């Protein structure tokens, strides 16, 4: 009974991975590209918070691109391959930077709301 349940769960996860990942990657590529264009090429680029959001979109775009390579190329069979190690490292750096930019943006917004008159000094 237990192996039958595990097989059903594995089939459900395979089906979700087949449709969910390409959908999320497609939406992420389009959405983050639009964010970069809006925040970097309009008059919003002079605002520090918009620069941070453009950086966040660029970092997320990098992580999504590596996820796309993983989806198209399949699972790596050897972790000793240099390209595999570089992509794994880059993916982890992108994920770290994504969290870092969210925290920095949150702190910047908190300080702007908490001390509105001192914002011009930063």
Q: Where are the domains of the chain?
A: 2-121
pLDDT of residue 60: 97
Higher pLDDT residue, 120 or 55? 55
CA nearest neighbour of 64 among 40, 30, 37: 30
pLDDT reported for residue 2:
54
Q: What is residue 15's predicted lDDT score, i.e. its pLDDT?
A: 84
pTM of the predicted model, to two decimals? Answer: 0.80
Is 84 or 94 the better-scoring residue by pLDDT? 94
CB 26, CB 65: distance < 8 Å: no
At residue 4, the pLDDT reads 65
What kind and span of H or E run contains 53? Answer: helix 48-73
Collapsed DSSP state (helix, strand, coil) of residue 31: helix
- Report the alpha-carbon distance of residue 71 to residue 88 in Å, rounded: 14
Residue 66: count of CB within 10 angstroms of its CB: 18
Write out pLDDT tens, residues 27-48: 999 999 999 999 988 888 888 8
């Amino acid at each position: 009974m237990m192996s039958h349940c595990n097989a059903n769960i594995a089939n459900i996860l395979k089906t979700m991975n087949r449709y969910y990942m390409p959908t999320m990657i497609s939406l992420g590529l389009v959405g983050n590209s639009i964010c970069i264009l809006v925040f970097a090429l309009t008059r919003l680029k002079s605002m520090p918070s918009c620069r941070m959001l453009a950086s966040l979109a660029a970092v997320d775009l990098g992580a999504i691109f590596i996820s796309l390579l993983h989806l198209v190329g399949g699972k790596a069979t050897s972790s000793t391959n240099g390209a595999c190690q570089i992509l794994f490292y880059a993916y982890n750096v992108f994920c770290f930077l994504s969290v870092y930019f969210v925290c920095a943006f949150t702190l910047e917004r908190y300080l702007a709301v908490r001390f509105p008159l001192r914002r011009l000094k930063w």
